[in-house]
Each structure stands twice: as structure tokens, then as C-alpha cells.
Amino acid sequence: MNKERSAEEQYIKRRKRKAIMQSFVYYLCHIFPVKRNKIVMWTFEGSGGYACSPRYIAEEILKRNKLKETNYQIYWLVQDLNREFPPDIKMIKDSLLMRAYHLSTAKFWIANTRTFYGTIKRKETIYFQTWHGSVSLKPIGKCRGSKFSKIAYLISKYDSDLIDYALSGSRWCTEMWPEGLVYDGKIKQTGSPRCDILFNGVPKMHIKLRKEYGIPYDAKICLYAPTFRGGSQATARSINAGSISLDFCELIKALEIKFGGTWYVFLRLHPQLTTYLENFPFFQDNERLIDVSQRPDMSEIMAATDAIITDYSTVIFEGFLTGQPGFIFASDLEEYILDRGTLMFDLDEIPFPSALKTEDLIKNILSFDEQQYKYNSKKFKEKVGIIEDGYASKRVVDLIIKNT
């Protein structure tokens, strides 16, 4: 135990030294002026693409720019310059020098994850934290209790002290953010911009994704999206083979028996875990199992699907806003709780049928009661105070304009 504590303390010291050295680059960049119409965005520490809430905020800004209502310039920090972005968004290689220069000269930062430890924000800059999760089974931040490591707390607190506005899509998130995000600043209940498409874009996405993946337009799609394991700064994020060892043939058969039609399954790993894909022979020679993990935006996928299966991810609490059935498959529940901490809800508190074994998941699908599900979903939305309505992006851009 003492060895583990000593190793953690040494790791923290190294991170602090690195942060101090990196901060000097930011201070050097303070010789450049802040541009009032400059906005810098990023997703998943630069490893993400044009996705999540920053994407939908950007789309609203570009729409207003086109109408000459605004004149913002959007820059996006990315690790991979080959990612696809609209031509009016300037991609910036996420190196220390480029990051420090562009963040130091931007009036606004908009992100769905933390900044890098050691980042320095100027007093003129306003930082919007959209976060990449919402209502969820998965505990985050101080909600993890003793599972929340010292280095994770240190980095979370450092970033949260920089935030000017944290966005929320529910009363539950507003009440949870102080502990979950280790944040004591302003929280705006604007709704989650990434959820707008779930109200405004379902018919379009149904057609678009089926066309892109060569699926018949009348086919139905089940999204399977297991979350990552670990992720406490000092530990590696991972996913175990058991968590995607479903018998997809049996799953598809059950979906077709219960709901009718021809079904396909979209597999979507967490954006920061797509490099693990090659280690999993999960396709089982099934042409109706399609990997969509490299697709940057989860909201587009959820807007196109007809059912969702996950373990502890927030996606099911957003995807169900379209009315599609949701199912929990938590085959490693005890192990996950030992690693991550106590879940934010008991499984019987949520509207989604839950299973720890594949055969129970199949039974839950076959016995699914649509009317009961609608009733339970309505009561749950009321309980947690979900305010999503498809207009979150507009509210956020109005707030940006107000602070310009």
C-alpha cells in the first residue's frame, strides 16, 4: 500500500512539473491580443472530431454567420488533421505551441472534456464546458467516492477553476455537477446542444445513415454502445472482451421476433477506445453487425437508430428522448462498481429493463412492454427534470453573443 501511495505521489509530482513547464508557453503567448470573435473548440482532449455539443454549437454559429448576424471565427483543436470538418472551421494541430497560442488569443473556449493540465486562461477569455455526458449510471468526479484518484481530482479541479459556464440539460445534472465536475461556478440550464438533433433531425438521419452503410431504408437498427473501463488519469482506459461478447445473431433474432422487420446492429465503442477494435473478433461473420466506432458524432447515430443497448453509458439517457426502446446489459456489474464506484441510480430506478446475462437481455427484449416503457420514461424524465427540447444550441449561441 505504501509503495502504491509513493508511486502515486511521484506521478503527481511529475505531472505538476510538466504542467508548470507547459504554463510558461501560455504566458509567452500572452503578448498576442485576444480576438473578440475567435472561438476555439475541442472534443475528447483533441482526439475527437466534429462531434458532440461543440459541433451543434458550431453549426448554429455558422448558420448565423451566413445570415450576417454574427462574424465568429471557429478554430478546432485536433490530433488528426485528416478529420472531416466544414470548410469554415479551421483545424489546428493539437501541439503545445499551437494550443497555447490559439487558446491564449481566443475570446471563447467551448469543449466537452477537460483542458490539459497547465493550461492558462486569460481573464478576457470565457470558457464554456458542455461536458460529454449527462444523466448516467456511470459515476464521475467526487461521486466516485474513494475510487476518485488524487491526480484525477487535481486535474478536474484545475480545469473546473477555469470554467465560466457549465451547461446542463436537466435539474439532475445541475445538482450533480458540483460534485461530478468538481465545480462551484455558474451552471446554465440551456439543454444539451448534442441532443437537439434528437428532436430536429430524426427523419433525416434515418435516411442518411442507412444510405451511407448500404442498409435498406425500411430496415431497423439497434445501437450497442458499451462504455470504457478505468480512466482515472493514472490508469489506462480499456474495454474487456466479455463486454462485447453478445451473441449478435440471437440478439437480431429476438429484435425481429419482438418488433418485426429486418434488424441490423451498430457497434459503437467510446471515442477514446476505437484503437482497441483490432483486438476483438466480434463480427462473428455477421453481415448485419456494423462497426460505427470511427464515426465521430454519437448523436447522429442515436437519431438514426430504433433501439439502444448499453451498460453504464449516458447514451441511453439521451437516445430514449426519441422514444426508442432502451436496454441495459451489464455483464460485469460487480467488477465495474469495484473499479468505478457505486452507480448513480439503482437499476430498478431507471426505465430500461436490465440484464446481467445475455439470455436475460434476450428475455427482456422479447417481453418488452411498450406502454409501460413510455410511462416509466415519462416519470423518469419528470424525476430528473430533463429540459431537452431541441433549442439548446440557440440558447448557448445567444449566451455567447451576450458575452462578446
Q: What integer pLDDT is reported at residue 282 of this predicted model?
A: 53
Cα 9 to Cα 5, 13, 16, 150, 153: the distances in Å are 6, 6, 11, 9, 13
Show the cell assigned to 390. Answer: 431541441
Rg of the chain over Cα atoms, rounded to whole angstroms, equals 21
Looking at domain 200-384, its CATH class is alpha beta
Q: What integer pLDDT is reported at residue 233 of this predicted model?
A: 46
Q: pLDDT band for 7, please (50, 70, 90 cuts).
A: confident
Span 236-294, pLDDT tens digits: 445 444 456 688 999 999 999 999 999 999 999 865 555 555 555 555 567 899 999 98
Dist. CA 319–CA 157, nearest whole Å:
30
Contact 72, 35 (CB under 8 A): no
Q: What integer pLDDT is reported at residue 16 of this predicted model?
A: 96
Count of all residues that appear for the chain in the document: 404
Q: Where in the chain is the domain with CATH 3.40.50.11820?
A: 12-195+390-402
3-state secondary structure of 108: strand
In this predicted structure, the answer to whether residue 385 has a pLDDT above a threshold of 60 is yes
3-state secondary structure of 326: strand
Q: pLDDT band for 170, please (50, 70, 90 cuts).
A: very high
Q: Where in the chain is the domain with CATH 3.40.50.12580?
A: 200-384
What pTM, to 2 d.p., does this model score? 0.94
In this predicted structure, the answer to whether residue 87 has a pLDDT above a threshold of 90 is yes
Dist. CA 265–CA 263, nearest whole Å:
7
Show the cell assigned to 273. Answer: 477506445
Four-way CATH pick for 12-195+390-402: 2.30.110.10, 3.40.50.11820, 2.40.50.100, 1.20.1440.230? 3.40.50.11820
Q: What integer pLDDT is reported at residue 234 of this predicted model?
A: 47
In this predicted structure, the answer to whether residue 49 has a pLDDT above a threshold of 80 is yes
Residue 36 burial (CB count, 10 A): 12
The DSSP secondary-structure symbol of 229 reads: B
Show the cell assigned to 385. Answer: 427534470
Span 95-136, pLDDT tens digits: 999 999 999 999 999 999 999 999 999 999 999 999 999 999
Q: What integer pLDDT is reported at residue 2 of this predicted model?
A: 66
Cα 80 to Cα 16, 50, 269: the distances in Å are 27, 11, 19
Dist. CA 302–CA 198, nearest whole Å:
7
Q: What integer pLDDT is reported at residue 246 of this predicted model?
A: 80
Q: What integer pLDDT is reported at residue 235 of this predicted model?
A: 46
